[in-house]
Structure 1
């Protein structure tokens, strides 16, 4: 889950004041709707509608309040000539080899902002859940280059280099899971497509499975611009930022609709490993996940599609984007999937 970083609040007083004023004003109609509009007529429950107002304003005005690393984090950093990542929980190479599953995670943020430790509490929660089952999960959260500093394919190359490092440290690909939220889910998928298409030359096998949370598969947003679901989500200015994010990421010699940066536009999805796709049917990017899952099933790819209703973008990472009961449900779903599929992969190979 993203956490509130109070140092960012204190160091950005004007932005914080603006958030406070706008969110307070926008909370009034939410409160009135909660009193006078029946639940069945509201796309979001009262809790999520109120969270949308506050999270949406934070996200739009000063996103670093939520999407930054903790100042006092103690996570172990690993790096090579062409990659940088963090291991959660911190571990040495020998312990890495002994882990039941290694999850290589790409954070969201349109590939233009965010930090690999923005979900540290989520990673810790998931590792704790697995530990209760007698399993050991290790997360390797990739610090890929943000698009404002380096164009595509630097982001994919960073994922590949991290994966190679994991394999070179004695970890079987049967115990590796690719994962990501939002644009990070797209990045994880684009990396798997690249592995499929170039594995014969670079000799990198595919991972055991993947977990994709509210993935942004189509960066042209051909079917998500002007979506009515904008009223239900915390991405207030989504339509206004799409072109900028696409232009900033892709090299100048590639067209706006290049499949290089949009998994959904790939000619084929054949050959991908099994994966879990979790999204909300009422979030802005719902159609991306639905279209992707339909394509995968048509290509006989094993895909587990889980669509909840009344949740917001990337809700599966946990509170405060979703409620505590939904967080518990998502934790179980995601961790059980990872554990089950690494076990299946071990028996199949």
Structure 2
């Protein structure tokens, strides 16, 4: 399947260039927060609500969005998250598996230490509103309060909770960004190991593939400057979750065996990302495992640019294409 690069000759939108300049200037603050949180983890815990509130303001929620909170105990532990839906406001908004309609199982990113379903509500709402299907956004455990592989365990538990509720694997489309892409891979590997059917499709934004950031470090050495994140800050944040974990553990450096048969996948990545090679490598791994994958490279864009519709026109275009991919693989309610 193809690698698609949006025309390199096309000018990046003015809004996008201005946003990149502003966010690039804020990177030292984020790096300093990561540095302080290593020695004083409570610093990040205290700062998280403010960081999440700021991100929520930058990623507005469309009118008509319905949310239903979930906190449910299962034999293997608790499932937390929220349903997001755009239709039938006279009922709870929770999709009924008996309808046969597809749903999105969304795994948010941000280094396993910040963000939540609330910060990503705007992005997920924009992603599903064109299709009329619902989404369940997982509220997985974060570092430094919880350590690896807590988030991966929650991801597997959430998927099997959906199956237990009556959704078939063919109704579930997994989507996620950044660390959520890494969680999606962990889910595929767990399903393969345990003989659980894989989801219908996947849509990933700037997915993390290499938690050591070796691929990202090489790009940064070549002069790539991501307007959103830098390697040092990203390593420090992720280390609050993965500290002490073996970087070669199969749940850290996830491999996709040839007999896994991954679902059809769309990967979107910004052309200015230090994690662009993570997306390229994952694209190749999916093809090597016998899957189909389309990689879209969006010139001039930084990490998970899809979250910021106020500041980059390309966010609208990318989300529209991702929504079309989801619609192509979904069963849409009548």
Alignment TM class, shorter chain as reference: 0.7 to 0.9
The verdict on how the C-alpha distance between 1:229 and 1:122 changes in structure 2, with shifts beyond 3 A counting, is farther
SS in 2 for 1:63: helix
- TM-score w.r.t. the length of structure 2 is 0.76
Any conservation in 1 of the 2:225–2:272 contact (CA below 8 Å)? Answer: no
Deviations 1:154-201 (A, max 9, x none): 1112112221222222212111011110111111121111111222xx
Deviations 1:94-135 (A, max 9, x none): 6354262211111111011111121212222233211xxxxx
RMSD: 3.0
What residue is the counterpart of 1:340 in the other structure?
Answer: 328
What residue is the counterpart of 1:167 in the other structure?
Answer: 163
What residue is the counterpart of 2:293 in the other structure?
Answer: 303
In structure 2, what is the Cα distance between the partners aligned to 1:228 and 1:66?
32
In structure 1, what is the Cα distance between the partners aligned to 2:247 and 2:11?
32
The verdict on how the C-alpha distance between 1:53 and 1:304 changes in structure 2, with shifts beyond 3 A counting, is same
- TM-score w.r.t. the length of structure 1 is 0.73
- Count of residue correspondences: 288
SS in 2 for 1:335: helix
Q: Are residues 1:197 and 2:186 paired?
A: no
What residue is the counterpart of 2:19 in the other structure?
Answer: 51
What residue is the counterpart of 2:128 in the other structure?
Answer: 127
Match 1:258 to one of 249, 268, 271: 249
In structure 2, what is the Cα distance between the partners aligned to 1:330 and 1:250?
31
In structure 2, what is the Cα distance between the partners aligned to 1:113 and 1:129?
28
How far does residue 222 in structure 1 lie from its aligned partner after superposition?
Answer: 1.1
Name the larger-Rg structure: 1
How far does residue 228 in structure 1 lie from its aligned partner after superposition?
Answer: 4.4
What residue is the counterpart of 1:184 in the other structure?
Answer: 180
- Stretches of structure 1 that go unaligned for 5 or more consecutive residues are 1-39, 131-135, 345-349
Spell out the pairing of 1:104-253 with structure 2 (5 A cutoff): 104-130=105-131, 136-199=132-195, 204-225=196-217, 226-228=220-222, 230-235=224-229, 238-250=230-242, 252=244
Any conservation in 1 of the 2:173–2:326 contact (CA below 8 Å)? Answer: yes
SS in 1 for 2:83: strand
In structure 2, what is the Cα distance between the partners aligned to 1:244 and 1:232?
16
Moved more, 97-106 or 150-159: 97-106
In structure 2, what is the Cα distance between the partners aligned to 1:338 and 1:41?
28
In structure 1, what is the Cα distance between the partners aligned to 2:164 and 2:274?
39
The verdict on how the C-alpha distance between 1:56 and 1:327 changes in structure 2, with shifts beyond 3 A counting, is same
What residue is the counterpart of 2:33 in the other structure?
Answer: none
Deviations 1:254-306 (A, max 9, x none): 3234331243xx26364222211111232111111111112222332111111
- Stretches of structure 2 that go unaligned for 5 or more consecutive residues are 1-7, 31-49
Larger helix proportion of the pair:
1
Any conservation in 2 of the 1:208–1:273 contact (CA below 8 Å)? Answer: yes
Any conservation in 2 of the 1:85–1:141 contact (CA below 8 Å)? Answer: yes
